Amino acid sequence: MSDIALTVSILALVAVVGLFIGNVKFRGIGLGIGGVLFGGIIVGHFVSQAGMTLSSDMLHVIQEFGLILFVYTIGIQVGPGFFASLRVSGLRLNLFAVLIVIIGGLVTAILHKLFDIPLPVVLGIFSGAVTNTPALGAGQQILRDLGTPMEMVDQMGMSYAMAYPFGICGILFTMWMLRVIFRVNVETEAQQHESSRTNGGALIRTINIRVENPNLHDLAIKDVPILNGDKIICSRLKREETLKVPSPDTIIQLGDLLHLVGQPADLHNAQLVIGQEVDTSLSTKGTDLRVERVVVTNENVLGKRIRDLHFKERYDVVISRLNRAGVELVASGDISLQFGDILNLVGRPSAIDAVANVLGNAQQKLQQVQMLPVFIGIGLGVLLGSIPVFVPGFPAALKLGLAGGPLIMALILGRIGSIGKLYWFMPPSANLALRELGIVLFLSVVGLKSGGDFVNTLVNGEGLSWIGYGALITAVPLITVGILARMLAKMN
């Protein structure tokens, strides 16, 4: 059997063993995809004992390509909603995440200096302790750029494997400990969280308002600044027993009921100007109006602003909200449509059908993958990751690397959505398949390279010490930030 055939066969065996290990659970806790790492260690140990020789060049290519696939698909998945989520709670959560990374880095640096732990080993411990696979890939690339011998680079994978199990269990243990310290009732917290979302904590919400301001009587909606902007959508108007879709030229009168969609703060301002919220239902049931969700799949409307499509004027249809990658947004006129956007339409059935034809609404297209944008994105990401940035005092040029470059590029392309007829939407099933394939390939190779010396290091070497260092790196940042988030930010 050739080296290539043997290498592929061994990798397939690693994937089978590792995925089986990952599916084994003890009291609901399992290694998940991390089981592939330990499958690689087990198979790698026996491969080393048998004296088999695998193609090192092929293993290296598979490892890097797997990492690229993994981070790229993550970026494409979260990119469309990532920047929008930063406007609300996402920014605060990301700041706490950055704080966890900084504290973890400080703990790692202190351990490195106090116990004189080799740099490849301590980087691997850090990556395993925080269960961060891209950090492992980035760290190995930095070590190679610094000219570190390959046997030392492979040690990073071994120390990663040592720290990984407690990285999983340590997170669960820390959460349990914080729950005990603060006497948290999970069910109560969940109910309070859901209540806060209902009462304004969500990104957008809807309210029904009665027009009570006499200054607004006989004014067109377009002449009311708070209704003519992009922060609030007026999707329905009820006058006496008649419900209709308002247009910018619709005249409002005292006593009219308006169904508004927007962010909580903007809706509060609307109440101050227009009138009080009412409990009266503005449901379309029993009327000639309909509410329907339509998916954007027509390439001809990609990149076009909602305002430029003139749905209100042409079809008497209002887009009340937009769902992009799971994030609900106000359908303001300046938003450009992306492939896969889900729009809430309000209007008459025939008009909604006409708008649906314009937007596409072809469900089968959501299951198709455009491969050209995938490889364009990966190529641009690799180029971005290869750009060197020289900083005085650093021994090597800083790069985003094969982990950071494709991730950043995927976030950007996911946010852009489409360029011409190229769109960076990927069906969830296809995204998951490529992501799982990438992480399985990456962890298989890391495990294989670490397996030869893993048992000896654990039993006769410093493996137990590495596990202890990893436990500190896992627990200290989580406990610190958990206490700060609970006591200062009052987070659930």
Per the structure block, which two tokens stand in for 22?
């990952």
For residue 79, pLDDT over 60 is answered with yes
- pLDDT higher than 60, residue 167: yes
Q: What's the whole-number mean pLDDT along residues 340-353?
A: 91
pLDDT range class, residue 194, cuts 50, 70, 90 = low
Assess whether pLDDT exceeds 70 at residue 378.
yes
Q: Three-state secondary structure along the chain?
A: CCHHHHHHHHHHHHHHHHHHHHHCEECCEECHHHHHHHHHHHHHHHHHHHCCCCCHHHHHHHHHHHHHHHHHHHHHHHHHHHHHHHHHHHHHHHHHHHHHHHHHHHHHHHHHHHCCCCHHHHHHHHHHHCCCHHHHHHHHHHHHHCCCCHHHHHHHHHHHHHHHHHHHHHHHHHHHHHHHHCCCCHHHHHHHHHHHHHHHHCCCEEEEEECCCHHHCCEEHHHCHHHHCCCEEEEEEEECCEEECCCCCCEECCCCEEEEEECHHHHHHHHHHCCCECCCCCCCCCCCCEEEEEEECCHHHCCCEHHHHCHHHHHCCEEEEEEECCEEEECCCCCECCCCCEEEEEECHHHHHHHHHHHECCHHHHHCCCHHHHHHHHHHHHHHHCCCECCCCCCCCECCHHHHHHHHHHHHHHHHCEECCEECCCCHHHHHHHHHHHHHHHHHHHHHHHHHHHHHHHHHCCHHHHHHHHHHHHHHHHHHHHHHHHHCCCCC
Domain residue spans in the chain? 3-189+369-487, 202-365
What fold characterizes domain 3-189+369-487?
Na+/H+ antiporter like fold (1.20.1530)
pLDDT at 436: 94
Q: What mean pLDDT comes out for the span 6-17?
A: 94
Structure tokens at 121: 């080993």
Tens digit of each residue's pLDDT (9 = 90 or more) over 407-439:
999 999 988 888 877 888 888 888 999 999 999
**pLDDT of 198:** 47
Give the pLDDT confidence score for residue 84 in this predicted structure. 65
CA dihedral 47, 51, 54, 59 (to 10 degrees): 50
What is the distance, to the nearest Å, from the Cα of residue 468 to the centroid of all Cα atoms in its chain? 31
Instruction: Give pLDDT tens digits for 251-303.
Output: 999 999 999 998 888 899 999 999 999 988 888 787 788 889 999 999 889 88
Q: Tokens for 377, please give them.
A: 């994105």
Cross-strand partners of 257: 210, 238
Q: Which residue has the tokens 């400080």?
A: 106
Q: Answer whether residue 85 shows pLDDT above 70.
A: no
Residue 200's pLDDT is 42
| Cα first-last separation, the chain | 57
The model carries a pTM of 0.76
Lowest model confidence (mean pLDDT) among 152-156, 239-243, 451-455? 451-455
d(CA 443, CA 18): 9
Q: Tell me the average pLDDT of the chain.
A: 86
Phi-psi map region of 40: left, alpha, beta (phi>0 left; psi -120 to 50 alpha): alpha
CATH architecture of the region 202-365: 2-Layer Sandwich (3.30)
User: Residue 215: what pLDDT?
Assistant: 92
The position carrying tokens 């089978």 is 16
